[in-house]
Structure 1
Amino acid sequence: MDLGLQGKKAIICASSRGLGKGCAEALAEAGCDIVLNGRNEAVLATTSAALREAHGINVTSIAADVSTKEGQAALLAACPDPDILVNNNGGPPRRDYSELDREALLEGAIQNFVTPIEFIQAVVPGMKARGFGRIVNITSLSVKMPIEGLDLSSGARAGLTAFLAGVCRQLAPHGITINNLLPGKMDTDRLKGGFERSAQQSGKSVEAIRAAQAAEIPARRFGNAEEFGQTCAFLCSRHAGYITGQNLLMDGGLYPAAF
């Protein structure tokens, strides 16, 4: 399927690995020029080179923390007028709510609530002028289904969802869509780290923990970055112009609901 994205410009936050990388690969395959972002310069360079070689598109790499004003400025300087913005950022570490002090609460809110809103504020004027814009926010299954120890991440991402529910309807007349992708248990480094912690705490093997958690998912497997990225690319495509304000779960059926 031709997504109608040839020559479009995309900023993809936290995209040198994991789900962000999956989005970058799918958008590069669709013909977008990419602004790639990560904190590890070596990993960033490897991902950038692979995208250029595989798809022959322009890739600009920005090593920066997108939660900082300096990091945001660097990405926007590299691409002042993106057609596509994929908001993504690591969440606060797993921690019981009772252990969170004011500093930790504010940092989590900046990472997963303030930062994506600031990016949207920066890119929307250009999207309005061109009559086209696609914004995808990578949030989490935890917005709908609490996950122990991720209360701060869940709360900040849920706040972002509520904040943008009105904003997306203001922007729809201008050809701009805002949608949220909610990953469940995806086969990423973050998930693997969780397996290792559970194995240490329980005395079970990592393989046993992995198998038990996969068995809880109706699809009987974990998701992967490739299918996640392809879904993101479709939401950015010309075919998805009538989809906005939606929260798309990608969890293999783990969240049990009819609506």
Structure 2
Amino acid sequence: MDLGLTGRKAIVCASSRGLGRGCAEALAEAGCDLVINGLDRLRLDTTASEIRARYGVNVATVVANVSTREGQDALLAACPEPDILVNNNGGPPRRDYRELDRDAMIDGVIQNMISPIEMIQRVADGMAERGFGRIINITSITVRMPLEGLDLSSGARAGLTAFLAGVCRTYAGRNVTINNLLPGKMDTDRLRGGLERTAGMTGQSVDAIGKAQQAEIPAGRFGTAEEFGKICAFYCSSAAGYVTGQNVLVDGGLYPAAF
């Protein structure tokens, strides 16, 4: 399927690995030129080289923290007029809510609510003027299904979702869409870290805990960054211009609801 994205320009935040990289690769496969971002220069440069070699698109790298104004400035200096923005960022570590002090809560809200809103503020009007824009926010299944210890991440991402529910509708008539992808249990470093943490607390093996968690998922497995990226690319495509303000679960059926 031709996604109608050849020659489009995309900023993909936190994209040197994991779900961000999956999105970057899928957009590159669709013909987009990229600005990718991370904190580890070596990993970021390696990712960029591999994407260039595989897909033949332009890939610029920005080593920066997207939660800072300086990081956002650097991303937009590398791509002043993006057609696509994929907001992604690391979340606060798993922690009992009683252990969260004010500074930790502020940092979590900056990471997972304020920073993506700031990026949207800076690109959405330009997209509207040019008549095309696709904004994807990678949030989490925890927006709908709370998970123990991820309360801060869940709350900040839910705040982002509610904030943008009205904003997205002000741009729909100018071919700019804003949608959220809600990953469930995906085979990423973050998930593996959680498995290792549980293993350390329970004395079980990481493999046994992983198999038990997969058994709870109707699909019977964890998701992959590659398939997540392809879903992202579709919602960025010219075919998805009539879809906005949606929260798309990518969870193998884990969230048990009809609506």
2:182 partner amino acid: L
* Partner residue in 2 for 1:46: 46
Q: How far is 1:46 from its partner?
A: 0.6
* Partner residue in 2 for 1:233: 233
* Partner residue in 2 for 1:220: 220
CA deviation profile, 1:16-65 (whole Å, cap 9, x unmatched) = 00000000000000000000000011100110000100111100000111
Distance 2:253 2:124 in 1: 34
Q: How far is 1:126 from its partner?
A: 1.3
1:20 partner amino acid: G
* Partner residue in 1 for 2:13: 13
Q: How far is 1:186 from its partner?
A: 0.1
Q: Is 1:36 aligned with 2:70?
A: no
* Partner residue in 2 for 1:128: 128
Q: Is 1:102 aligned with 2:102?
A: yes
CA deviation profile, 1:167-196 (whole Å, cap 9, x unmatched) = 000010111000000000000011011111
Distance 1:181 1:257 in 2: 17
Distance 1:152 1:207 in 2: 28
Show the 5 A alignment for 1:69-108. 69-108=69-108
Q: How far is 1:147 from its partner?
A: 0.6
Show the 5 A alignment for 1:159-170. 159-170=159-170
* Partner residue in 1 for 2:196: 196
1:177 partner amino acid: T
Q: How far is 1:124 from its partner?
A: 1.1
* Partner residue in 2 for 1:146: 146
* Partner residue in 1 for 2:60: 60
Q: How far is 1:129 from its partner?
A: 1.1
Q: How far is 1:128 from its partner?
A: 1.1
**Unmatched 5+ stretches in structure 1:** none
Q: How far is 1:206 from its partner?
A: 0.8
Query: Structure 1 stretches (4+) deviating beyond 3 angstroms?
Result: none
1:190 partner amino acid: R
Q: RMSD over aligned Cα, in angstroms?
A: 0.5
1:158 partner amino acid: A
Distance 2:195 2:175 in 1: 42
Distance 1:171 1:128 in 2: 7
* TM-score of the two chains, using structure 1 as the length reference: 0.99
Distance 2:30 2:191 in 1: 28
Q: How far is 1:79 from its partner?
A: 0.3
Q: How far is 1:219 from its partner?
A: 0.5
Distance 2:230 2:205 in 1: 33
